[in-house]
Amino acid sequence: MHLLKWILKIVMRFLVGTILFLGLYALCYFFVPCFDNGWDSAQHDGDIEVYLIQSGVHTDIAMPWNHSEMNWSAVFTENSPMDSMLTYVAVGWGHKKFYMETPTWADLTFENAFSAAVGIGQTALHVRTIPEPIEGNHVRRMKLNASQYKALCGYIQRTAGGVSEPAQAIEHLRQPHDLYYEALGRYHALRTCNTWVSDALLAAGQKGPWWTASTDGLFL
């Protein structure tokens, strides 16, 4: 009897703790993105055009494929922008298994959702060469100066494994310009693909949310 009471007490504490965590997380999810990181982007305009691209619940950072400040072909060596229109590279970060095994929500499994939420497993970069994006509701344009752009590129290179070595390709997707690469960092409920982008904005001296798990905070 005492053992049963002890087990029930543990289960109740777990359930209450889970409910409290989910409630707190929901509050942070909706309200914390309203607080920005303190940068005033208008005071730091440059002439290098960088974009944020929203796709469902995910955000990519799009940058010139080849610029005097950075040539991404030295980092993402397996990408092949054979079409002259593919002048930009779009980079996103996320949970490796979730990325590679969940092309649509119909493919979502409990295992992948759980491992991503609690931080089990490795991460990856999704890299595509694309035409220059067009600013709109789901595309945010920023103008960076040389030092800001170098800081942004350094942030992404460090995620790819370092600033002196090419990124390690995992596999091609449907096109030769669409690949996954190994990445550093731990993905979990408090550090999502969009949190990675908000940290990139901070590194580049661009206004953005102090923290956000969703795309909404990046497009306020």
pLDDT, residue 218, reads 85
Burial bucket for residue 19 (CB in 10 Å: 0-12, 13-18, 19+): exposed
Q: Bridge partners of 38?
A: none
Measure the CA–CA gap between 15 and 135, rounded to whole angstroms.
Answer: 45
Question: Could you report the per-residue pLDDT of 89-117, keeping only the tens digit for each?
Answer: 999 999 888 877 776 656 667 677 677 67
Over residues 173-191, mean pLDDT: 83
Tokens 């694309």 belong to which residue? Answer: 130
Tokens 């409290």 belong to which residue? Answer: 20
Cα Dmax for the chain: 74
Helix H segments across 119-188? 146-159
Q: How confident is the model at residue 120 (pLDDT cuts 50, 70, 90)?
A: confident
What is the share, in percent, of the chain residues with pLDDT greater than 70? 71
pLDDT at position 121 over 70: yes
pLDDT, residue 87, reads 94
Whether the Cβ atoms of residue 220 and residue 210 lie closer than 8 Å to each other = no
- Over the Cα atoms of the chain, what is R_g? 20
List the structure tokens of 127: 């890299």
pLDDT, residue 219, reads 79
